[in-house]
Chains A and B, each alone.
Chain A
């Protein structure tokens, strides 16, 4: 298993503990992650503004991976959707691929349509598999109740994801959590959006969206939220205190990235998983383990 790791914009600057734990756990599970420093933004934030530019940014990233003969493994769900959409569109539409290559040629790049894209969680779910993950667990997390937040672009649009999970009844993250021995918490707002994409347009609406889910997860007495997207983490982690102040609520709900949960279950040291760097310090949680 070898992939080019696609960091995107938010992870390498704002979610270092996600990147750190992803690399650490991937290494342990035999997933080789190669770095391509020339990767840029995936194109997602530009798609609403200028479609052609977003298409070329995505295609250029795919071309860079193709030059190395590698498929792409992503950490951010928005990167996953834009890169997956583009890889599928260009593989299926020769005329569009020709147009894209005319533009990429001007910057010395070329793409032939071969690269496939997978989110790291999907790599765990499909390539590594639940059985191998269960075997890798040395310290079952049976003292934890964990609520998974799927977010939007990890599952949707479902037509580009080969239906590896169901957009209305998703299960992959709950199964990945259960594989670590923890209890996967079911809750009513599981599929709801974090609001991150409109944080800069209407903070009020965005924070209310994030709040609804925090309220629900807290009411279900989960110990932590399982996240797989850096921008969802900005909403539930970095903005959790802001939401508490604004609405007079109290959560103190640790957010964990899935590789951190899996890493803890595999017996990897919390410091190597960057746990002390998470926006909500998971001290009480870690005390439960030891």
Chain B
């Protein structure tokens, strides 16, 4: 019974596939070459993350996207596991540019409401301080002690860019 339940969860149901999904990915910056993939698996065989945990498998993710498994891809936790090392990008014989395809999928996931909490936290910090880490008074004092110049604690222009592109609204849950 247990194996049946497992098979049910993993079954690909043709009627819930979205054949247009791959064209949407191809319209995203970085996703343009997704349809060139011929499933050779060079990406997965050299992937340092796949080697340690099979739940991240770039060949499989691309196959799922081409099949049109929109929700399973965008709502997944595995698309966030790409370490952006570009090994697959360099080796892909079809120039799929997998690292950038993963970025395209993550961008789509964010717009569908599935941003990973770690990436949300990073994006919020940068929107607030202009940098990933706040340069507070203590840091500037430490910097001054060894002769390094002071840095500002915020960047109003970065906050303006977040407003302009709609990222500020996306992060606050108001939609783009």
Chain A contact residues, CB within 8 Å of chain B = 7-10, 12-14, 16, 19-20, 23, 35, 37-38, 40-41, 45-53, 55-57, 60, 103, 106-107, 109, 152-153, 156-158, 167-168, 191-193, 195-198, 200-202, 205-206, 208-209, 274
Distance in Å: Cβ of B55 to nearest Cβ of chain A: 9
- Most chain B beta-carbon neighbours within 10 Å: one of A35, A46, A196, A209: A46
Contacts of A209 in B (CB 8 A): 48-49, 52, 83
For this complex, 15 residue pairs linking A to B, each with C-beta atoms less than 8 Å apart, are A10-B133, A13-B139, A40-B126, A48-B102, A49-B107, A49-B123, A57-B161, A156-B85, A156-B87, A157-B99, A195-B83, A198-B81, A201-B80, A201-B119, A209-B48
Determine whether the beta carbon of A103 is less than 8 Å from that of B164: yes
B70 CB to nearest A CB, Å = 18
User: Cβ of A57: which chain B residues have Cβ within 8 Å of it?
Assistant: 126, 158, 161
Contact yes or no, A193 B83, CB < 8 A: yes
Report how far A38 CA is from B49 CA in the complex, Å. Answer: 36
- Asked if residues B81 and A50 are in contact (CB atoms below 8 Å), the reply is no
A-B pairs, top 3 by smallest CB distance, nearest first, are A200-B118, A9-B132, A156-B86
Check A153–B149 contact: CB distance below 8 A.
Answer: no
Contacts of A47 in B (CB 8 A): 103
Asked whether, in the complex, the Cβ of A46 is within 8 Å of the Cβ of B148, the reply is: no
Q: Does B28 contact A (CB under 8 A)?
A: yes
Question: Does B115 sit within 8 A of A, measured CB to CB?
Answer: yes
Q: Cβ of A16 and Cβ of B81 under 8 Å apart?
A: no
Given contacts A41-B132, A49-B115, A192-B48, contact A20 B146 (CB under 8 A): yes
Q: How far is the CB of A229 from chain B (nearest CB, A)?
A: 12
Closest beta carbon of chain B to A102's beta carbon, Å: 10
Judged by a CB distance under 8 angstroms, whether B18 is at the interface is no
| Cβ-defined partner of B146 (8 Å) among A37, A157, A274 | A274
Residue of A45, A49, A192, A202 near B167 (CB, 8 A) is A49
Chain B contact-residue range equals: 35 or more
Q: Does B160 contact A106, Cβ atoms closer than 8 Å?
A: yes
Query: Complex formed: what's the CA distance from A14 to B115 in Å?
Result: 26
CA distance A200 to B77 in the complex (A): 12
Given the contacts A152-B85, A156-B90, A51 and B28 also touching, CB distance less than 8 Å:
yes
B29 CB within 8 Å of chain A: yes
Q: How far is it, in angstroms, between the C-alpha of A16 and the C-alpha of B122 when the chains are bound?
A: 21
Decide: A12 and B142 in contact? CB cutoff 8 A.
Answer: no
B123 adjacent to A13 (CB under 8 Å): no
Contact A35-B149, Cβ < 8 Å, known A45-B132, A152-B85, A153-B86: yes
- Which chain A residues border B90 with CB–CB below 8 Å? 156-158, 167-168
Q: State which of A35, A45, A197, A205 has its C-beta within 8 Å of the C-beta of B52.
A: A205
A162 to chain B, nearest CB (A): 15
Which residues in B have their C-beta under 8 angstroms from that of A167?
A: 86, 90
Decide yes or no whether B4 CB sits under 8 A from chain A.
no
Quick one: given A45-B126, A167-B90, are A14 and B133 in contact (CB under 8 Å)? Answer: yes
Inter-chain contacts of A50 with B (CB < 8 A): 107, 110, 123, 165-167, 170
Q: Is the CB of A157 within 8 A of B165?
A: no
Are A37 and B152 in contact, with the CB atoms below 8 A?
Answer: yes
Interface set, chain B 142-162, CB cutoff 8 A to A:
142-143, 146-152, 155, 157-158, 160-162
Chain A min CB distance to B28 (Å): 7
B22 at the interface (CB under 8 A from A): no
CA distance A196 to B173 in the complex (A): 28
Of A13, A14, A191, the most chain B CB neighbours within 10 A belong to A13
Using Cβ atoms and an 8 Å threshold, which residues of chain A touch B166? 50
* CB-contact partner of A106 in B82, B83, B118, B164, under 8 A: B164
Q: In the bound complex, how far is the Cα of B49 from the Cα of A53, in angstroms?
A: 27
Which residue, of B30, B77, B83, has the highest number of chain A Cβ atoms within 10 A? B83
Q: Which residues of chain B come closer than 8 Å to A197, judged between CB atoms?
A: 82-85
In contact, B123 and A45 (Cβ under 8 angstroms): yes
User: Which among A46, A50, A168, A274 has the highest number of chain B CB atoms within 10 Å?
Assistant: A50
Shortest distance between the CB of A94 and any CB in chain B (Å): 17
- In the complex, the chain A residue whose C-beta lies closest to that of B154 is A40
